[in-house]
Each structure stands twice: as structure tokens, then as C-alpha cells.
């Protein structure tokens, strides 16, 4: 029966349409309530920007791929070490830190919910084990279906209901949250030593196209009434001229849901490239943003690139192979039987590299050109574009034209000819930045009704108090204050308890794993489907009974039930 009262908080909460009101927030037992009498703890939040806890809707923090990034980058582990202090464990790593490192650094920035962007269902145990040691955030995991053989067979046979049944079985077996497609078809083609060029080319063996995969998956996803939409990493990531493919993909997306988008398109910066080679490489953010502005069924995240060293990791195996041929540095390539693959490469984004400078500009252009912040989420695809600790800098860049111009001056001299960033005068408002860092995520992930991303009565008491006085701070000029303010909260509150105070974390958090359990009619229950079980036992190297992740792996958790309309 713990109670907490936050007094005189300056609140911005776009979901409740609160735009800068001074109010008190009362918390009882981890939930926000109307009022508390004789609170156990009172926080005076005068002059502090008070927001719902941050949500990262696309990050890579837990799982086999992340762990392999740690494993192959001992130099990265040396790059960010902190020693044990009070309740805090020692941490190491900069772009791929240890789980505690991720958790502390996110908490320090006021983030309380994280979505792991890509979990291979077969390797889900590892992800869930790492979730348990990410103590200060609730975690969710998008589950990979881009090369799932049973799903691809169902698509080939044109049986969407069976596809929905397969998705339902895998999601509840892997304790996953959403459907992730990474280079749909492409990673499977890579298994045959091939890749796809865009969405209309059939993939080997199955003869279906990436377009078939994307559209059918979206339909199946909506049949299952899942909280989140299909989460898509488009084909052709990182290739000059790929914007045409991205636009083609967007044009194929049906609008099937009134509450949220039907497609979450992730790290779009990597998919907005013009030109025909690296020599005439340029930004096509304008075309992409126009398409997004026309299509309420699409939400994107920017996938901002920031300069410095980082590690790229994705289930897009062929793309990482192309990067390897570019850099000749170390490379990992991995195949997950019957499901997907992955690749990892360390990179260093440099200001004086023209391609990198253009990438940096494209991310910002997307943030500024997409009209509605509800459709454009701030993310770096951590750690692919940059480690998440750079988020405050991204916020400041979006809020200040001065800062953008000052940074632009330091880039490769030819950047101005390839991008339109210098001509964009828009400076995002406080409300827009708040939307892009929590509210839009909560809506896109369908978490509003689970009490995330807002501060209404009954919501989870995940609250971030930043030492920023909105009335006296002009973001356009005081961008340093924005960066410092968003880097370290005064208080981060998770489920009603202060878990981080001025950058020092405590371990007392009862975090949860969120997962979905879609209920399907018995005819589509793959757990009793003879053909599925036969195929499974024939082709997988493990038995179907050993496959599902047991409850013992996930600790405290919230099961999100959904009723399928099949």
C-alpha cells in the first residue's frame, strides 16, 4: 500500500491532450489515482518537466544477436565501463552494453518500457532471460516471421486463416509481443545464397513475393486483433535508390485498423535513399514523408544516425554481408533454422564521410517533414544508427534550427547538395517531442489501454521528471540545456517507485514482460494440428514439446489476451 504524491508538476501528456499544466499526481500501489491522503512520499516537482515514462518502440537490447555483438566486440565492452556503486552493478559496453548497462542508462533518461525489435522465436529463451536482468523497464519482444517456413507455406497456399493460426501459436510459444518482418523473403533467399531486389520478385523455393508476405501478414495480424500492427523492416535496406521500393511497399498497405496504424515501418532513414550508387547517393526523405503524410495506416520510426562508433545488428543477413564487403571489418552471420537469420558488423559513422553525413540528415528530415508526430517516432534503431544514449541530442536537433545549422557546418562540404535539411525551418514543439518519445509509441504498440504512455487515472505510474523548466527554456537557443535535461532525469518512477534519482539507480523495481496470447478457434490451433506437428518434428532440430518458452523463463509477466476473428 505504497503511496506517492508528486506536487506542482509541469505535465505534458499528449494522450490526455494536456499541454503544459501544473498539477499534482497521486500514486497508489503502482497506479495513478485521483488523490492520496497522507502519502508515504512527497516529491516537489516545481519547475520540472513531468512526462509519462519514455517508451522505446524499436531497440535491440536483449537476445542472442545482441549478445553476439557483445561477444565479438571486446573493444566495445572496454569503451563504456562503470564500477559498482550502491545498488548498481558494474556495467560495461558502449553500443552493446551489458543488460544492467542498458537498463541503467535507459532509466537515467526516463525510459520505462522497451521493445526488443527482433527476437527469433527459436532463440526466445535467451531474450527472456536477458529481460529478467533488465530490471528497471518493462520489456516486450517483436517476434520474427520473415522467413518462417510454415508461415511462408500458408501464404503460398493462400490460406490466411492458417497463417493467423501459425502466428498465434508462435507468439504464445515464444512469449512474443508483435509480428516483425525483417527484409521479408530476403533473409530466406539469403539462405539460398540470394537476396531480393524489391517487393515484386519471387523468392526461391516458395515462389511468393515479399509483397505477398507483407500484405498477408498484415491481414492475419488484424484477424488476430493483436495490440500491435505488423512491424516491418523493408526490403533493400541501405541501398542507394531504395526509396522506390519503400514507396511501393507503402502503396501496398491496406488500412485495416481504426485505433492505430496497420503497418509500423521501422528505421525509415535507412530506406529513404536516392541515387543509383554511392557516388550519386542522395536524400529522398521528402518523397517518403509525403507518402506517410497521405497514409494514416502507416507509422514510421526515423532510425536516426548519429556520429561515432556503434554496432549494427539485424536479422537482415544479406544486408550485413553487403556492409562487410564495404568495410572489410569483422562480421558475423547467423542462420536460425526454418525461421530467419542475422548479421552483425561494427561501424563508425563519421562527419567527414559524405554518405554518413547524408544519412544523418535524412533521419532529421523525416522527423521534420512528417506532419504528425503521432506517425513519426524518434528512435535510432539502437544500436544500429547510434546507441540510445544519443536520444537527447536527437531531440535537441529536432527542436533547434540553430543547433542543426551549427552541426551541419561541421559535416562533409558536399552534403548540402544532396539533402534539403538546411532549408527546413520547422522546430518541433515540446508537445511534439513528447509525442515522438512516448505517446506515439504507446498508441502504435496498442499499450494505451494497458496504462502506458499517459498519466490518466488508472494508468501505470511510470513517470519521468526532467530538470527542465519549460517556461524559461527556449529550445531553439538553449539546446545544451535540452540535451542535459533529457539525458538525466531528476526522478524516474517505475510502477510508483523511484528507480533512478539524478542518474543513480536502485534495484527496487518489479518490472514485467508483456506478451500476447491470441485465442484461436480449435480448427486453427497449431498445437493440435497434425500437419503442423508432423512438419515441425520433421524439419526442426528440436521437438515441438520442447519448443515453447516456459513461464519459469519470464518471471513476472503480463499476458495480453486477444480474441481472434477467424
* Closer residue to other proteins (CB): 78 or 477: 78
Tell me the C-alpha to C-alpha distance, in Å, between residue 489 and each of 21, 50, 308. Answer: 19, 10, 24
Q: Which of 19, 329, 545, 565 binds other proteins (CB under 8 A)?
A: 329
Q: Where do the H-state alpha helices sit in 118-185?
A: 124-132, 149-156, 160-174
Place of cell 511497399: 249
Judged by CB under 8 A, the stretch of 18-26, 68-76, 115-123, 462-470 that binds other proteins is 68-76
Place of cell 536516392: 274
Shortest distance in whole angstroms from residue 73 CB to other proteins: 6
* 328: contact with other proteins by CB under 8 A: yes
How many other CB atoms are found less than 10 A from the CB of residue 543?
10
* 92: contact with other proteins by CB under 8 A: no
Task: Report the site for other proteins in 71-90 (rule: CB under 8 A).
Answer: 72-76, 78
Provide CB contacts within 8 A for 502, sequence distance 6+.
488, 489, 490
* Closer residue to other proteins (CB): 78 or 556: 78
Q: Is 331 exposed, middle or buried (0-12, 13-18, 19+ CB in 10 A)?
A: middle
How many other CB atoms are found less than 10 A from the CB of residue 363?
32
Judged by CB under 8 A, the stretch of 16-24, 66-74, 201-209, 515-523 that binds other proteins is 66-74
* 112: contact with other proteins by CB under 8 A: no
Total of chain residues touching other proteins, rule CB under 8 A: 8
Shortest distance in whole angstroms from residue 74 CB to other proteins: 4
How many other CB atoms are found less than 10 A from the CB of residue 325?
8
* Closer residue to other proteins (CB): 79 or 244: 79
* 312: contact with other proteins by CB under 8 A: no
How many other CB atoms are found less than 10 A from the CB of residue 271?
29
Shortest distance in whole angstroms from residue 460 CB to other proteins: 40
* Closer residue to other proteins (CB): 17 or 325: 325
Shortest distance in whole angstroms from residue 313 CB to other proteins: 16
Phi/psi for 272 (5° steps) reads -120, 40
Q: Degrees (nearest 5) of the Cα angle 302, 240, 357?
A: 55
Q: For residue 253, how far is the Cα from the chain centroid?
A: 20
Shortest distance in whole angstroms from residue 76 CB to other proteins: 7
* Closer residue to other proteins (CB): 348 or 543: 348
Shortest distance in whole angstroms from residue 93 CB to other proteins: 12
> 163 with 217: CB under 8 angstroms?
yes
User: What gap in Å lies between CA 534 and CA 234, rounded to an integer?
Assistant: 32
* Closer residue to other proteins (CB): 74 or 207: 74
Residues forming contacts to other proteins in the complex (CB under 8 A) are 72-76, 78, 328-329
Amino acid at each position: 500500500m505504497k503511496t506517492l504524491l508528486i506536487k506542482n508538476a509541469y505535465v505534458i501528456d499528449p494522450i490526455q491532450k494536456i499541454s503544459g499544466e501544473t498539477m499534482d499526481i497521486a500514486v497508489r500501489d503502482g497506479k495513478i489515482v485521483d488523490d492520496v491522503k497522507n502519502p508515504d512520499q512527497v516529491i516537489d516537482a516545481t519547475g520540472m518537466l513531468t512526462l509519462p515514462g519514455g517508451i522505446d518502440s524499436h531497440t535491440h537490447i536483449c537476445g542472442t544477436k545482441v549478445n553476439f555483438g557483445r561477444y565479438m566486440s571486446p573493444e566495445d565492452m572496454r569503451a563504456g565501463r562503470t564500477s559498482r556503486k550502491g545498488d548498481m552493478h558494474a556495467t560495461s559496453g558502449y553500443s552493446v552494453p551489458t543488460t544492467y548497462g542498458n537498463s541503467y542508462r535507459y532509466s537515467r533518461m526516463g525510459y520505462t518500457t522497451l521493445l526488443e525489435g527482433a527476437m527469433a522465436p527459436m532463440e526466445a529463451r535467451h531474450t527472456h532471460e536477458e529481460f529478467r536482468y533488465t530490471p528497471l523497464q518493462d520489456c516486450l519482444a517483436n517476434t520474427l516471421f520473415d522467413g518462417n517456413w510454415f508461415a511462408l507455406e500458408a501464404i503460398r497456399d493462400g490460406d490466411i486463416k492458417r497463417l493467423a493460426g501459425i502466428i498465434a501459436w508462435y507468439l504464445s510459444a515464444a512469449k512474443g509481443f508483435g509480428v516483425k518482418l525483417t527484409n521479408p523473403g530476403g533473409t530466406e533467399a539469403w539462405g539460398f545464397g540470394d537476396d531480393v531486389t524489391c517487393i515484386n520478385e519471387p523468392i526461391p523455393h516458395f515462389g511468393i513475393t515479399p509483397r505477398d508476405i507483407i500484405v498477408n501478414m498484415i491481414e492475419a495480424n488484424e484477424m488476430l486483433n493483436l495490440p500491435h500492427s505488423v512491424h516491418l523492416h523493408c526490403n533493400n535496406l541501405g541501398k542507394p535508390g531504395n526509396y522506390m521500393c519503400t514507396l511501393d511497399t507503402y502503396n501496398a498497405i491496406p488500412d485495416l485498423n481504426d485505433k492505430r496504424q496497420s503497418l509500423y515501418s521501422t528505421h525509415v532513414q535507412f530506406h529513404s535513399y536516392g541515387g543509383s550508387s554511392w557516388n550519386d547517393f542522395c536524400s529522398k526523405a521528402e518523397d517518403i514523408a509525403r507518402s506517410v503524410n497521405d497514409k494514416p495506416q502507416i507509422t514510421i520510426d526515423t532510425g536516426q544516425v548519429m556520429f561515432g562508433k556503434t554496432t549494427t545488428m539485424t536479422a537482415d543477413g544479406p544486408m550485413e554481408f553487403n556492409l562487410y564487403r564495404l568495410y572489410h571489418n569483422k562480421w558475423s552471420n547467423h542462420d536460425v533454422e526454418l525461421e530467419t537469420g542475422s548479421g552483425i558488423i561494427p561501424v563508425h559513422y563519421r562527419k567527414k564521410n559524405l554518405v554518413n553525413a547524408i544519412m544523418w540528415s535524412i533521419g532529421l528530415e523525416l522527423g521534420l517533414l512528417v506532419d504528425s508526430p503521432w506517425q513519426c517516432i524518434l528512435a535510432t534503431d539502437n544500436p544500429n544508427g547510434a546507441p540510445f544514449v544519443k536520444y537527447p541530442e536527437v531531440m535537441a536537433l529536432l527542436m533547434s534550427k540553430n543547433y542543426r545549422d551549427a552541426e551541419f557546418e561541421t559535416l562533409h562540404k558536399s552534403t548540402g547538395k544532396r539533402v534539403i535539411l538546411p532549408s527546413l525551418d520547422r522546430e518541433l514543439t515540446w508537445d511534439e517531442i513528447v509525442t515522438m518519445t512516448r505517446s506515439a509509441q504507446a498508441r502504435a504498440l496498442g499499450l494505451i489501454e494497458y496504462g502506458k504512455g499517459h498519466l490518466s487515472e488508472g494508468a501505470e505510474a511510470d513517470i519521468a521528471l526532467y530538470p527542465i523548466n519549460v517556461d524559461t527554456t527556449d529550445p531553439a537557443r538553449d539546446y545544451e540545456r535540452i540535451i542535459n535535461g533529457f539525458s538525466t532525469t531528476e526522478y524516474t518512477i517505475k510502477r510508483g517507485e523511484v528507480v533512478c534519482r539524478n542518474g543513480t539507480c536502485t534495484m527496487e523495481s518489479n518490472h514485467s514482460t508483456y506478451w500476447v496470447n491470441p485465442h484461436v478457434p480449435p480448427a486453427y490451433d497449431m498445437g493440435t494440428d497434425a500437419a503442423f506437428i508432423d512438419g515441425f518434428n520433421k524439419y526442426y532440430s528440436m521437438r515441438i514439446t520442447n519448443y515453447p518458452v516456459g513461464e519459469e523463463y519470464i518471471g513476472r509477466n503480463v499476458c495480453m489476451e486477444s480474441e481472434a476473428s477467424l
